[in-house]
Amino acid sequence: MFKTHLMSAAGLCLCATGALAQVPVLTIYTYDSFASEWGPGPAIEAAFEAECGCDLQFIGNGDGAALLARVMLEGPRTDADIVLGLDTSLIARARQLDIFADHGVSAAFDLPVAWDDPQFLPYDWGYFAFVSTADVEAPTSIAQLADSDLKIVIQDPRSSTPGLGLLMWVQAAYPDDSAAIWEALADNIVTVTPGWSEAYGMFLEGEADAVLSYTTSPAYHIFAEDDQSKVAWAFEEGHYTQIEVAAKLADTDQPELADQFMQFITSDAFQSAIPRTNWMYPAITPQGGLPAEFQGLARPQTALLFPPDEAAAVLDGALEEWRAALSQ
């Protein structure tokens, strides 16, 4: 009996090992939702394979932080040729690994901030924002939100990208009294969830007036559900920005293919796949413009963003402030 089960486990192993491919394989590590059926992965894979004569494989790993953790676990021996899906808060740590090469791509990015990083190539971006429903009276700043009775759900900065984004947002918008802001926000926060999905699900179930997400989130509801009632609050102090980037491994065994893909990132085929699958702004607006549901979205006046090194420097202090304020 024992033996049979071991054998069936071994059988699973064998089945899982695919046949060796004849065409060159370009391996891209990304986060799970990028690679999934509903993410940009499938469309981009098809478009790139049509022109490269290669097999493009997206390997999905949790979220951006999990992706970086996997790259760090694998170290220089990694099988990845390209890592796609790190964001501005992870770049400083990724750069320290010293395993990425210059991308050599130049393009006119439609980013809210200037970008000239030689290794990390942006492919999409978005603003963090609180998403609510139209019938709720919208506050106009974090401070006003903190003074109100509105209830919000946020994510934990220790386990979630948007959670970390809010931490940085408060630091960037209120550098001198971030601690006071967190203390004032404490009674607005219904709860803190480990990830975005839990928080967003709780908001949709009516557990809070608003949830920390992106300015682009309402676009999904307009497009997929014909639901105009979801809105993102525009705050006058500006919104913290998330820029998602890709980078090429220095010792990839497919340097030409990797270069070809890095160039492909700036192409219309790649960029036009982003809005309706990743629900973010493309780094370069595609020729056909943005989809209709993106037109009416809140567009913040000010884009806030710490340079990678500065973000790393303020992290520990900000986290302690957050913990202390919310642990009262």
Partner 1 sequence: MARSVVPVNGTLRWPGTIAVGLALVFLFGPLIAVLWRAEGLASLSRADLSAVWFTIWQAAVSAVVSIGLAIPVARALARRQFRGRQVLVTLLGAPFLLPVIVAILGLLAVFGRAGIVNSFLGALGLPDVSIYGAHGVIIAHVFFNLPLAVRLILQGWVAIPSERFRLAAGLNAPIWRVLERPMLASVVPGTFVVIFLICLTSFAVALTLGGGPRATTIELAIYQAFRLSFDLAGAATLTLVQIAICAVVALLAFAITALDAMGRGLDRVVARWDGSVWGDFAWITAAALFLLLPLVMVILRGLPSILELPSSVWVAALRSVMIAMVSAGLTVALALALALRGGWLVVVVGTLPLAFSGLVLGAGLFLIVFPFVNPSNVALPVTALVNSLMALPFVMRALVPSVAQVEAQYGQLADGLGLRGWARLRIVLLPRLRRPLGFSAGVAAALSMGDLGVITLFATGDRATLPLEMYRLMGAYQMQAAASSALVLLGLSLGLFWICDRGWRIDADA
Segment 13-42, which members bind partner 1 (CB under 8 A)?
A: 13, 16-18, 32-33, 35-39, 41
Map tokens 């089960």 to a residue. Answer: 5
Would you count residue 53 as binding partner 1 (CB under 8 A)? no
Q: What gap in Å lies between CA 243 and CA 232, rounded to an integer? A: 18
The single residue among 25, 59, 105, 314 that binds partner 1, judged by CB under 8 A, is 59
Mask for 184-213, x = binds partner 1 (CB under 8 A):
--x--xxxxxx-xxx-xxx-xxxxx-----
Do 60 and 32 meet the contact criterion of CB atoms below 8 Å apart?
A: yes
Instruction: Indicate the residue among 138 and 219 with the shorter CB distance to partner 1.
Output: 219
Q: What gap in Å lies between CA 319 and CA 323, rounded to an integer? A: 6
Cβ count near 75 (within 10 Å)? 9
CA 278 and chain centroid, separation: 9
Q: Which of residues 239-268 bind partner 1 (CB under 8 A)?
A: none
Q: Which residues contact 92 (CB under 8 A, 6 or more apart)?
A: 308, 309, 311, 312
Q: Which of residues 99-138 bind partner 1 (CB under 8 A)?
A: none
Burial level of 236, CB count in 10 A (0-12/13-18/19+)? Answer: middle
Instruction: Indicate the residue among 13 and 114 with the shorter CB distance to partner 1.
Output: 13
Would you count residue 169 as binding partner 1 (CB under 8 A)? no
> What's the min distance (Å) between Cβ of 286 and partner 1?
21
Instruction: Indicate the residue among 161 and 241 with the shorter CB distance to partner 1.
Output: 161
Q: Which of residues 64-83 bind partner 1 (CB under 8 A)?
A: 65-66, 68-70, 72-74, 77, 79
Do 248 and 100 meet the contact criterion of CB atoms below 8 Å apart?
A: yes
Q: Which of residues 265-324 bind partner 1 (CB under 8 A)?
A: 279, 315, 319-320, 322-323
Instruction: Indicate the residue among 25 and 111 with the shorter CB distance to partner 1.
Output: 25
Instruction: Indicate the residue among 192 and 284 with the shorter CB distance to partner 1.
Output: 192
- What residue type is assigned to position 56 of the chain? L
Map tokens 């394979």 to a residue. Answer: 49
